[in-house]
Amino acid sequence: MEVEDGAELCFPQLNTSCRKPTFPGSDVLILHIVLYFVSVLTVALNLLIIISISHFRQLHTNTNTLLLSLAVSDFLVGLVPMPGEILRQTGCWFLGDFTCTLLKYVSYIISSTSVGNIIFISADRYVAICDPLHYPTRVTERRVKLCVCLCWLSSVFYNGLYFKDDLTKPGQYNSCYGQCVFFIDDIIGAVDVVVTFIAPVTVIIVLYMRVFVVAVSQARAMRSHITAVTLQRSVTLTTKSELKAARTLGVLVAVFLMCFFPYYCLSLAGENLVNGLFSSYVNYLFYFNSCLNPLIYALFYPWFRKTVKLIVTLQILQPGSCEANIL
């Protein structure tokens, strides 16, 4: 690819070099500050979730194990895909073709795992609300950990097949040197949309609609109950806890759909997600979901606010802090 004399090139010594992206100096500075701030915030918030669930013994539950897996994937989004997307869209790519392909591969692994985690969280709430008597026997610690491992391994395997050609021939879709292109074949992209979005979202919505119907009927039954026996009070408190968790799941799913839907719509339409201002915004919105998830926890889970206070004030370094009462 020949370039004009005097054009600012990413690699001036190469005739095949890409031109440097042209942005007004102040605009690109503000854009970098905002995007990197969101990236750092995503890493920090999800790190707090990871430390909280890992450290405090009261939070070692099956449901929180799934939340921990989701927090790990969101943490990795802020650590790898977000900074990579900023570099890819707002400047020259100086890290080489293989690193570009590796970024794409890792990004898709993390996003696929996030979708899988949402499915398992939805299934967990479905069993807890719709079949509470069998929940302890159906949702065991061993099964939950097995599901988390399968979620990550299947995502690595699936995306390994998906990007096999890219990993063996990195940079084959770049038109010039210094570019990092995320090219997706229309047919393969359509299959991926079905496998990683349409099918999982259908499962999530069906499960949550069932949870919502049962939760509403339980809430009405609770309001119509007059007898105040101690056993009934404990059952009522447990039910309220489950209903609150279901409501949190609803918000989590709604935010997930709002952030992921535009991205997969473009993929299904066969749009190239490499260039264009709108495509860049869609990509950033896609990753921004990982920053919103811990904010949802902070809004709906009092235990998260308590653990953040203990972590920030370094009280978790004290002996026996893992046994602290935070529920």
Instruction: Give the total number of structural domains in the chain.
Output: 1
- pLDDT at residue 173 greater than cutoff 50: yes
Q: What is the pLDDT of residue 93?
A: 81
Structural domain harbouring 109: 25-323
Report the alpha-carbon distance of residue 229 to residue 235 in Å, rounded.
Answer: 10
CATH number, residue 273: 1.20.1070.10
Q: What is the pLDDT of residues 132-142, one digit of tens each?
A: 888 888 989 99
Answer yes or no: is 236 within a domain: yes
User: Does 227 score more than 90 pLDDT?
Assistant: no
Per residue in 95-128, pLDDT (tens digit) is 888 888 888 889 889 988 998 998 998 898 888 8
**Does 7 fall in a domain?**
no
> Exposure pattern of 262-300 as b/e (b: 16+ CB <10 Å)?
bbbebbbeebebbeeeebbebbbebbbbbbbbbebbeee
What CA–CA distances, in Å, run from 249 to 31, 184, 200, 270? 32, 32, 15, 31
> How confident is residue 162, by pLDDT bands cut at 50, 70 and 90?
confident
Residue 20 is assigned to a structural domain of this protein: no
Has residue 3 been placed in a domain? no
pTM over 0.85: no
* Structural domain contains residue 131: yes
Residue 274 pLDDT grade (very low, low, confident, very high; cuts 50, 70, 90) = very low
For residue 67, being part of any structural domain is answered with yes
Q: Is residue 16 part of a domain?
A: no
Of 12 and 36, more confident: 36
Residue 17 lies in a domain: no
